Structures are given as structure tokens and as C-alpha cells.
């Protein structure tokens, strides 16, 4: 699953015997990757779109596990454009029912963070490291593409991801989040919603995010350029390797 067409098109291209089912103004691409029955879909942006898409995947397509690939804005100063973050746990940075609940707590679920599945994390870590170490990104993106985004030696970080219905486009937004939730590595708009639905239905999941921008005053320029030129290639390389391990 991804949030935008550009985030899934490389993965759709991996499907054998592809078919399309339209439902809820979304296109669900079904087929096989490495002999495994697979559904690929983009939800559109935001937590509502993501949650309803995951619910449809569970009820209509009977998925048993979920992989999300997409892009994110860096919050940690250690992250650069082209690095990858694997979500160990997810939080909704815009959830706030104070004074009735603690800030960020999901009402009536008594949870603030949703943890990713340990076995999934292990497989995804291995695959992402394989892709980064084998320099396969260099061959699919090309030296010029990497140079344009100043991607030299992209790295993986495993940790916290924050999600909310906001695109971060200023240092002020970034600094606010960083001071409130100092362990958050990156910000995006769907992961914690995907995680909550998967938690509620006992579906193991991974949220894999490539840094497209550093969530600052330049993010409205960096984000579309990265999405257009690079994001789909990252997703396809990682998903290909994960399916080889399954
Ligand atoms: N996804 C990618 N970049 C983002 C940003 N700056 N804010 C929110 N979501 C994003």
C-alpha cells in the first residue's frame, strides 16, 4: 500500500496476472509477486483515506499482512533525503483529546503508540539493508538522479514515525514536533492510521518511508521532485527483496 500513485507504480509493475478492482474511488491491483497473492493500492493522502483503504483490504481482499511504502519528511537531524526509516512504533501527532485523555492517546483504545510486528521488522530491515548495500538503487535511479538529490550513501534508521493530517513545510512546525516528541524520526500522513487499523484486526504490518524532504521551508519543492523522479524505484526495490524472503 502507498498513499500516492507514484509510491506504488513500481510495485504494480511487479505483479504477474494483474487485474484491477475499483471500489470506493480506489483501484485495487491484484496478482502475484514471487507466487504470493498480492493486492496493491494507493489510498490518497491522510489518515481517513488510509484507514478506510486498510479496512477494505482486510474485509474485501482478506489480506493477512500489510506493507506500506512511501515518503516522509525528516524530523531527526540525522536523516537526509534518500535515507529510509522503518517504523518501530507509530504515533498520531495531531491526536489531542485533552483534558479528557493524555495528549496523543487514542481515545478508548488506551494506547498512544502502535508497535510494528517484530518478525516484519526483521525481514524489512534485512531487505532494506540488502538494497542499500548492493547499491541496486544506484542502477535503477542512476548516478545523475542520485546526484540531483545529493544522495551519497543512504542509510536505514529504525524508530518512531509520527503521522497526522498536515504537510510539514516550515522549520517552526518541525521544531515544534521535535520538542514535543523528541524520539520521532520522520513525519508523514498515513502510517499511524494504517497501524491502528492493523492493530485492531491483528494484521502484522510494516511502514517503510524514504525521506523525500526535511520537513522545512523547502519541503514543498523537494517533495514533488523526489516523488516524481525517485520514490517508486525505492519502493519497488525493497518490496522485490522482501517478497524474495517470504
Ligand atoms: N510526507 C513527505 N514529506 C512530508 C512532509 N513534509 N510533511 C508531511 N508528510 C510528508
Distance 96 CA to ligand 1 centre (A): 20
Q: Which residues line ligand 1 (CB under 6 A)?
A: 71-73, 167-168, 187-189, 212-213, 215, 219, 223
Provide φ and ψ at 199, rounded to 5°.
-60, -45
Can you tell me which atom of ligand 1 is nearest the CA of 164? 8
Q: What's the Cα-to-Cα distance from 240 to each of 119, 130, 136, rounded to whole Å?
A: 18, 11, 11
- C-alpha to C-alpha distance for 86 and 17, rounded to whole angstroms: 30
Can you tell me which atom of ligand 1 is nearest the CA of 166? 8
- Chunked mean pLDDT (size 10), the chain, 246 residues: 94 96 98 97 98 98 97 97 97 98 96 96 94 81 83 93 98 97 98 98 97 94 88 88 90
Q: Can you say how many angstroms the Cα of residue 120 is from the centroid of all Cα atoms in its chain? A: 14
pLDDT of residue 202: 98
Candidate of 85, 164, 188 to mutate for ligand 1, largest count of ligand atoms within 8 Å of Cβ: 188
Whether residue 95 contacts residue 105, with contact meaning beta carbons closer than 8 Å, is answered with: yes
pLDDT of residue 140: 80
Candidate of 83, 216, 223 to mutate for ligand 1, largest count of ligand atoms within 8 Å of Cβ: 223
Candidate of 167, 171, 214 to mutate for ligand 1, largest count of ligand atoms within 8 Å of Cβ: 167
Distance 169 CA to ligand 1 centre (A): 8
Can you tell me which atom of ligand 1 is nearest the CA of 189? 9
109 SS3 class? coil
Domain boundaries, the chain: 66-245
pLDDT of residue 138: 79
Give, in words, the CATH class of 66-245. Answer: alpha beta
Nearest CA residue ID for atom 4, ligand 1: 73
Strands (E), the chain: 16-23, 26-33, 36-40, 66-74, 84-92, 114-115, 156-163, 184-188, 205-213
pLDDT of residue 229: 83
Amino acid at each position: 500500500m502507498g498513499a500516492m500513485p507514484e509510491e506504488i507504480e513500481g510495485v504494480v509493475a511487479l505483479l504477474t496476472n494483474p487485474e484491477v478492482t475499483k471500489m470506493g474511488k480506489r483501484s485495487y491491483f491484484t496478482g502475484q509477486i514471487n507466487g504470493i497473492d498480492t493486492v496493491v493500492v494507493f489510498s490518497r493522502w491522510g489518515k481517513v483515506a488510509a484507514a478506510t483503504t486498510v479496512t477494505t483490504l482486510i474485509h474485501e481482499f482478506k489480506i493477512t499482512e500489510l506493507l506500506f511504502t512511501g515518503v516522509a519528511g525528516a524530523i531527526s537531524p540525522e536523516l537526509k533525503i534518500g535515507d529510509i526509516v522503518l517504523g518501530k512504533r507509530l504515533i498520531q501527532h495531531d491526536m489531542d483529546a485533552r483534558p479528557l485523555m493524555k495528549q496523543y492517546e487514542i481515545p478508548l483504545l488506551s494506547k498512544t503508540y502502535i508497535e510494528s510486528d517484530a518478525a516484519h521488522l526483521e525481514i524489512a530491515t534485512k531487505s532494506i539493508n540488502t538494497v542499500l548495500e548492493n547499491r541496486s538503487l544506484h542502477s535503477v535511479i542512476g548516478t545523475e538522479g542520485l546526484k540531483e538529490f545529493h544522495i551519497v550513501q543512504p542509510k536505514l534508521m529504525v524508530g518512531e514515525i509520527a503521522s497526522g493530517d498536515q504537510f510539514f513545510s516550515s522549520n517552526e512546525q518541525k521544531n515544534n514536533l521535535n520538542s514535543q516528541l523528541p524520539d520521532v524520526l520522520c513525519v508523514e500522513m498515513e502510517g499511524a492510521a494504517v497501524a491502528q487499523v492493523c492493530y485492531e484486526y491483528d494484521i502484522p504490518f510494516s511502514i517503510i518511508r524514504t525521506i523525500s524532504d526535511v520537513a522545512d521551508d523547502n519541503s514543498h519543492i523537494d517533495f514533488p521532485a523526489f516523488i516524481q523522479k525517485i520514490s517508486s524505484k525505492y519502493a519497488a526495490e525493497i518490496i522485490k527483496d522482501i517478497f524474495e524472503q517470504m
